[in-house]
Amino acid sequence: MNPLLTPFDTAPFSQIKNEHFKPAFLRAMEDARTEIDAITKNTETPTFENTVEALEFSGRQLDRISSVFFNLNSAETNEEIQKIAQEISPLLSEFSNDITLNEELFGRIRSVYEQKGKLRLSAEQRTLLDKKYKSFSRNGANLPEEKKKRLREIDAELSGLKLKFGENVLAETNKYQLHLTDESNLEGLPEGAKEAAALLAKTREQKEGWTITLDYPSYIPFMKYAKNRELRKELSMAFGSKGFHSDVLDNQENVLRIAQLRHERANLLGYKTHAHYVLEERMAETPEKVYSFLNELLEKAKPAAEREFAQLQDFAKELDNIDRLEKWDSAYYSEKLKQKLFSLDDEQLKPYFKLEHVIAGVFKIAEKLFGLQFEEVTDIEKYHEEVKTYQVYDSEKNFISIFYADFHPRAGKRGGAWMTSFKSQYKKNGKNIRPHISNVCNFTPSTTAKPSLLTFNEVTTLFHEFGHGLHGMLANTVYPSLSGTSVYWDFVELPSQIMENWCYEKEALELFAKHYETGEIIPMELIQKIKESATFQEGMQTLRQLSFGLLDMAWHGIDPSHITNVKSHETSAFENTMLYPETPETCMSTAFSHIFQGGYSSGYYSYKWAEVLDADAFAHFKEKGIFNAAVADKFKKHVLSKGGTENPMVLYKRFRGAEPKVEALLERAGLLATE
């Protein structure tokens, strides 16, 4: 019996074998097609219930199988799973097109849509109807047959290309290692980082010495602390040239092809560019608004960034007689300057951020704000022994969610940090089906000598992903496609980014930041330094984020057919944001997974957009108290629980009482003074 085809609540990981996936997908697609046929062959007049709602609840088993499979492909993959993904993705793309290009089905949806003014629908039902109608019209339902055929071909090719792009990046990351046998090459590295490097060397072919990899917990400490400039350069070049070696793992052709196909697809559907297509369904609405937003911030941030860069350049010259600051010097001298200005470095802070304490802290903050309680359980199956599992309850012991947490890097896991779900929340037949949410990160693992101690940046990452997690866990909508994080892409980062703010607040830090050996609560002077250093090099950081947003738009906001060279196109996109000398051997686009594999194409600006929202929203908490029950309840009621049931600006204004102001972000970032 195929465990994926029998009803299951939590995913039955121990029973699932790789050979189960493809038959399960094929059968679930067949079942979903039968459900669609039942809708189209219904002889009754199309209604919201027998058409729109019926479509919404079709294919639930396929959704569950997809979530299990693609989450494993991100967090616990292998060559066999990657091969299945390459086979399955075009089939899923074709299946999706079979629905959106089904004329009978679209006819019924359109019939309901055209009478929506007369129907007595709730706000959520109206949103669902709009969304279903647009999912057809925006995906080719109104196209003539030959254009529909071309659309199918594009979608099938794109699904394969995006997977290949991600596989290449992961393979490049896993392939590289810097193996050192001379301890003098580790000068400057903290003891914890040296221990981790020694442990890596042992696990990789039982080598003596120390190994550094391109995984963040290994890469970042070396770039930040290693005195050996040549080795920093080697590591930086390896990191920056992923997918850019003109070999079997090269992503240049994939980038060009993805950009061209997305543009062709947008044109087919009547849009000027891919960005015009995407942004129609975003708060930003148009590429012009995105450029205006990015350029407004660029104008404010650039003078500050240039001042900060000059200060860093002078500091490196004074300290080590460095005439020309390079990219591989950035983290090293920034850390040294930060220590000088604030007498603060990550090594001072890490003892106060034992992973288990931080997890307990974020749970405690969720309890104080939203009344949630997390109970670790051992009877829920997991896909890897490192994963922790929790049952989440509200203050009245009502079951809210299952929560999976997966925190350390390993070979089958892609880099970075993300939130995902194994099961959506929705309401059906009088039951509120609760969600299964997962946070996946790549934090510094424990060693034989020390537990997992997080850098402050890792602490904010954990809080960030947990914010996405809360958005999923607290979902309380009728329809699964409007639940949790199923919101406009430039709104989805608000719940995650607002949570980072608590990491800087004394009242919150004192709940969990305690020394892993002595139990001492983090001293007030360190909290003060964290706050003072929060805007350190904020101009440079902002410029960096804006450069990524502008690169994204440079790929997707134009006709890319004239682009023949990935690197030169990227260089021109970075022209107004460059501080460091250009390195011809590196290329960001070939490893920019957010936009070429993930869902951020034409959407990378949304990190900054959401920062405006989160700065404005947290200002409200600051006014009333960071644990103010009334403000937290409003945020839960109007933002976290509502998913995508209404326009995000409407939801935001219900919470805040007004539209967000960009000044809140500029003030927090210390950029208002640069005007």
For residue 389, pLDDT beyond 50: yes
What's the pLDDT score for residue 673? 56
**Average pLDDT for 332-360:** 94
Q: What is the pLDDT of residues 180-198, one digit of tens each?
A: 999 999 999 999 899 999 9
Question: Which residues neighbour 37 within 8 Å (Cβ) at sequence distance 6 or greater?
Answer: none
Residue 357: strand pairing partners: none
CB 607 within 8 A of CB 284: no
Q: Rounded to whole angstroms, how far apart are CA atoms 297 and 396? A: 45
Q: Model confidence at 163, in pLDDT bands (50, 70, 90)?
A: very high
- Own/partner pairs for 543-548, CB < 8 Å, 24+ apart? 543/298, 543/301, 543/302, 543/305, 543/577, 543/579, 544/577, 545/607, 545/608, 546/294, 546/297, 546/298, 546/301, 546/577, 546/608, 547/573, 547/574, 547/577, 547/578, 548/588, 548/592, 548/594, 548/604
For residue 655, pLDDT beyond 70: yes
CB 176 within 8 A of CB 213: yes
Question: Which residues neighbour 238 within 8 Å (Cβ) at sequence distance 6 or greater?
Answer: 176, 178, 214
Q: Rounded to whole angstroms, how far apart are CA atoms 349 and 527? A: 10
Q: What is the pLDDT of residues 81-134, one digit of tens each?
A: 999 999 999 999 999 999 999 999 999 999 999 999 999 999 999 999 999 999
**Average pLDDT for 501-508:** 96
Rounded to 5 degrees, φ, ψ at 11 are: -60, 130
- Write the CA distances from 483 to 6, 389, 404, integer angstroms: 24, 22, 18
Q: What is the pLDDT of residues 290-323, one digit of tens each?
A: 999 999 999 999 999 999 999 999 999 999 999 9
Q: Model confidence at 675, in pLDDT bands (50, 70, 90)?
A: very low
Q: What is the pLDDT of residues 202-244, one digit of tens each?
A: 988 777 999 999 999 999 999 999 999 999 999 999 999 999 9
Residue 403: strand pairing partners: 390, 437
Q: Rounded to whole angstroms, how far apart are CA atoms 319 and 314? A: 9
Angle formed by the axes of helices 252-268 and 145-175, nearest 10°? 160
Distance between start and end Cα atoms, the chain:
67
Residue 390: strand pairing partners: 376, 403
Q: What is the mean pLDDT of the chain?
A: 95
**Rg for the chain, CA atoms, rounded:** 25
Q: What is the pLDDT of residues 434-452, one digit of tens each?
A: 999 999 999 989 988 899 9
Q: Which of 482, 502, 501 is nearest to 492 (CA)?
A: 482
Q: Rounded to whole angstroms, how far apart are CA atoms 306 and 377? A: 51
CB 195 within 8 A of CB 449: yes
Rounded to 5 degrees, φ, ψ at 603 are: -130, 5
Q: What is the pLDDT of residues 142-156, one digit of tens each?
A: 999 999 999 999 999
Ranges assigned E (strand) in 160-258: 178-180, 210-212
DSSP, collapsed to helix, strand or coil, labels residue 420 as strand
Q: Rounded to whole angstroms, how far apart are CA atoms 154 and 530? A: 49
Residue 658, token pair as written in the block? 């007004």
Angle formed by the axes of helices 216-225 and 229-240, nearest 10°? 140
Question: Which residues neighbour 610 within 8 Å (Cβ) at sequence distance 6 or greater?
Answer: 490, 491, 492, 493, 494, 496, 497
Q: Rounded to whole angstroms, how far apart are CA atoms 357 and 512? A: 6
Q: What is the pLDDT of residues 588-604, one digit of tens each?
A: 999 999 999 988 999 99
CB 179 within 8 A of CB 201: yes
Provide the 8-state DSSP code for 599. Answer: S
Place of tokens 């470095």: 345
Percent of the residues in the chain that have a pLDDT greater than 70, as a whole number: 99
For residue 674, pLDDT beyond 50: no
Place of tokens 């450029």: 291
DSSP, collapsed to helix, strand or coil, labels residue 213 as coil
Number of CB atoms found within 10 A of residue 318's CB: 9
> What sign does the dihedral 260-263-269-275 (CA atoms) show?
positive
DSSP, collapsed to helix, strand or coil, labels residue 145 as helix
Residue 296, token pair as written in the block? 């407004």
Show which residues are catalytic.
465
Question: Which residues neighbour 115 within 8 Å (Cβ) at sequence distance 6 or greater?
Answer: none
Q: Which of 155, 117, 123 is nearest to 139 (CA)?
A: 155
Classify burial at 635, counting beta carbons within 10 Å of its beta carbon; exposed 0-12, middle 13-18, buried 19 or more.
buried
Helix H or strand E encompassing 418? strand 418-423
Residue 384, CA atoms < 13 Å, CB-side half-sphere: 21
Number of CB atoms found within 10 A of residue 208's CB: 9
**Average pLDDT for 347-373:** 97
All domains in the chain, ordered by first residue: 3-142 (1.20.1050.40), 166-175+250-342+537-675 (1.10.1370.10), 177-240 (no CATH), 351-492 (3.40.390.10)
Angle formed by the axes of helices 606-624 and 493-500, nearest 10°? 50
Q: Rounded to whole angstroms, how far apart are CA atoms 101 and 136? A: 7
